[in-house]
Chains A and B, each alone.
Chain A
Amino acid sequence: MIEFLSVNQGRILGDLEQHLYLSLLPIIIGLVIAIPLGMLAANSRWANAPLLGLSSVTYSIPSLALFIAMPGIIGTKILDPINVVIALSLYTTALLFRSVLDGLRAVPEPVKQASTAMGMRRARQLLTVELPVAIPVVAAGLRVAAVSNISLVSVGALIGVGGLGDLFTYGFQIGSYYYIGSGIVLSVLLALIADVVIVVIQRIATPWTRARAAR
């Protein structure tokens, strides 16, 4: 096993690097798009229903189908990694949009009233009070999105772009458990690490939740 890892170090590290890039970039893109969409849906009744429906439909499309449909929809090349990045960004947006909306809706009414009484305008209230209070719910969505993105990226290997998925297809072709096994272990480890990192960031970003727990 150790010999296998040292011989294939280059391939495995390259796949790992591509895997990280392909799964984490969509998380950032998805979050950046989902926050304004969630705020829009939370404040506008007419935007709410169509956005909810759209996110539900997007989320139900199987990953391989979306990867393959991308070139047909936006005109990219079939083997371009951008297909996987955009498809995963769509899933992440669909999922995080729900989290942002749920988080904003769960902000306690007295908190909103207090900020209104302090003389805050609606936009400032939303950005400096409601959004921070919604962070734990958004972070919970972020954890699900990060973990499922990391596991979905491998499917991209079927269209030639898959990070650690390359170890699955290559291992399958040459009949080697080593490649597949190390791909699974690394992918799960990566998901675990991403999960922990998000929890830590959330703790740092919301010091008041710790203060409440300590009391």
Chain B
Amino acid sequence: MDEGEGGALMSGLLSFLFTAQNWALTPDGVPARLGEHLLYTAITLVIAFVIAFPVGLLIGHTGRGAFLAINIGNAGRALPTLGLLTLLVLLMALGILPVIIALVILAIPPIMTNTYAGIRSVEPDIVDAARGMGMTELQVLFQAELPAALPVIVGGLRTATLQVVSTATVAAYVALGGLGRFLIDGQDQQDYPQMFAGAVLVALLAILLDVVFVGLRYVAAPGGLAARRKTPTRRAASAS
């Protein structure tokens, strides 16, 4: 591709992004596609969280089934997303249900393994102290282990979200809506500027969600532990 084509591409991208019609509130406009993408992501995350979070808590707290948690994490990573999507859609016919199931299957491993790993990473001293104070096992889990594990758990949600946003894009191939439509339809219509604009929008969405999770992780850090991390610097400052 020579420079002329590159320039044409850039202007193609800009003309797509600055064409009012593409932003109109029609079913195939950018706002509707973005809304669909966010909706699929939200539905999937809620379902996956409801399934994976309690299991991760249980495995993390009891230490039983750690082998299972680690292997499910690895298996989830090895599973080819496009294969899972096409298989489920072929099995259950076109529609949103098989796609949501595929997305949930892919979102469960990171949430579960991070919940497990987060709970396991809590210092045993903290857990002992909580028990020593007379807390019941449930109180130990929810008042001592969970707050300390929260940043790691948010990290798992972040990985799951990226995975779901990415796979929901691919799902346009099996006739799902969302921003992936611009990529797949552009391919069918041999309209590269549309594909490129779609890719840019998807990438921006993913980066934006990622930044949100970085912020959430910061907020999720328990106040007590954050204060303790600050102490050495304060001490160092007063010593100098």
Residues of A participating in the B interface, judged by any CB pair closer than 8 Å: 56-57, 59-66, 68-69, 71-72, 75-78, 144, 147-148, 150-151, 154-155, 157-159, 162, 164-165, 167-169, 171-172, 175, 177, 180-181, 183-184, 187-188, 191-192, 195
Closest beta carbon of chain A to B217's beta carbon, Å: 12
Which residues in A have their C-beta under 8 angstroms from that of B210? 56-57, 60
**Does B180 interact with chain A (Cβ within 8 Å)?**
yes
**Does B44 interact with chain A (Cβ within 8 Å)?**
no
Q: How far is the CA of A184 from the CA of B83 in the complex (A)?
A: 6
Q: How far is the CA of A184 from the CA of B79 in the complex (A)?
A: 7
**Does B203 interact with chain A (Cβ within 8 Å)?**
yes
Determine whether the beta carbon of A180 is less than 8 Å from that of B196. Answer: no
- Segment 41-100 of B: residues with Cβ below 8 Å from A: 74-75, 77-84, 86-87, 89-91
Determine whether the beta carbon of B90 is less than 8 Å from that of A65. Answer: no
Determine whether the beta carbon of B79 is less than 8 Å from that of A64. Answer: no
* B158 closest partner in A (C-beta): A60
Determine whether the beta carbon of A165 is less than 8 Å from that of B166. Answer: no
Q: List 15 A-B contacts (CB under 8 A).
A: A65-B200, A68-B198, A71-B1, A71-B196, A78-B192, A151-B78, A151-B79, A151-B81, A154-B81, A158-B183, A159-B187, A164-B83, A168-B83, A168-B86, A184-B83
- Segment 1-35 of B: residues with Cβ below 8 Å from A: 1-2, 5-6, 9-10, 13
Determine whether the beta carbon of A62 is less than 8 Å from that of B202. Answer: yes
Closest beta carbon of chain A to B233's beta carbon, Å: 16
Q: How far is the CA of A119 from the CA of B42 in the complex (A)?
A: 57
Determine whether the beta carbon of A171 is less than 8 Å from that of B78. Answer: no
Known interface pairs A72-B192, A168-B83, A168-B86; 20 further A-B residue pairs with C-beta atoms within 8 A, sorted by A's residue number: A60-B206, A61-B202, A61-B207, A68-B198, A69-B199, A71-B192, A72-B196, A75-B1, A75-B6, A148-B77, A151-B79, A151-B80, A151-B81, A154-B80, A154-B83, A155-B170, A158-B170, A165-B83, A169-B82, A191-B78
Determine whether the beta carbon of A164 is less than 8 Å from that of B80. Answer: yes
